[in-house]
Amino acid sequence: MRRLIWTGLVLTVGVGAGLGLAWWAYRRFDAAKRAVSADGIVNRVDQAVDAARQFADEVRQAAAAREAELRRTLLKPE
Contact criterion met (CB below 8 Å) for 61 and 52? no
Q: Is the dihedral of CA 22, 23, 29, 32 positive or negative?
A: negative
Q: In this predicted structure, what is the pLDDT of residue 76? A: 77
Torsion of CA 19, 24, 30, 32, to 10 degrees: -150
SS3 78: coil
- Packing angle between helix 2-35 and helix 38-74, nearest 10 degrees? 60
Residue numbers in the chain where pLDDT is lower than 70: 77-78
Residue boundaries of the structural domains of the chain: 1-27, 37-78
Q: Give the E-state strand segments of the chain in sequence order.
A: none
